[in-house]
Structure 1
Amino acid sequence: MNVVLDAEAVNALIQERHPARLAVRRAMTAAERLGRDVVVPTVTLAELYRGAGRNRALDAMLARESAALLLRDTDRGLARLVGAILAEAHVGSEYLADAHAVAAAVEVGGGVVLTGDPDDLSRLAAPYRTVVIEELGSK
């Protein structure tokens, strides 16, 4: 099982004083000890690139964490899975990034998705028993 980070989990790595930073770090350490990947769907980055200062902070974090993070691009197979997740949950493309996080766990047979938005991700992940949605706590 891999660990998948959604936008809020990635944001916790960007912001030094984010209340969930330690929880994300602990999950990353556990994944490393177990030989598992920590996955960030690249569509998640699009949610976070929001201007020069923010872009620099995100790029700096990605450079610093490059050995620890696996960036998952959207290929045709993942796109089909994301579409299926959205269809199964009867939701629209406003859940596209969240569906990518769930899909990144589903495609490898399961995983833990760290999120600041457990309700939406739980809805998307409901059909997949091998996907666990873990709330980060207060933002």
Structure 2
Amino acid sequence: MPEIQVKKVVDLKKGSYVWYNNEAWEVLEMETAKTGKHGSAKARIVIRSIISGKTTELVKPTQDPIEVPIINKIRGQVIAKVSDIQYTVMNLDTYETFDAKILDDDMKGRIQEGQKVLVWDIGEKIIVQGFKE
């Protein structure tokens, strides 16, 4: 599980991330509406899971707290291909090795041994970008 920070719902923006159902989710849409004379403002948030790609909608008061994951970005180099979606990566700063997955269908098959990559640690390590030498 990544490090979690608590923010108010009103502080979220499109493209930010939330921690929901023990997963990191990206905010796709966010709109707020005042509900009436004595009601509090509500936010409608459309989010997509980074892991599974599912989308869902949340409706919350804008002043409510919401958990936001702190995503650690790791510069790495691919050491070995374990499977079509799993690779062994070496951290270029600490030289430790770890396994990371590729979830983006466009990247599958394009990552090769020796290639430098950007890995997000969100409780699970995910390769999000590959770099050409």
TM-score of the superposed pair, with normalisation by structure 1: 0.23
Greater relative CO (CA pairs within 8 A, separation 6+): 1
Q: Which has the higher helix share?
A: 1
Larger radius of gyration: 2
TM-score of the superposed pair, with normalisation by structure 2: 0.24
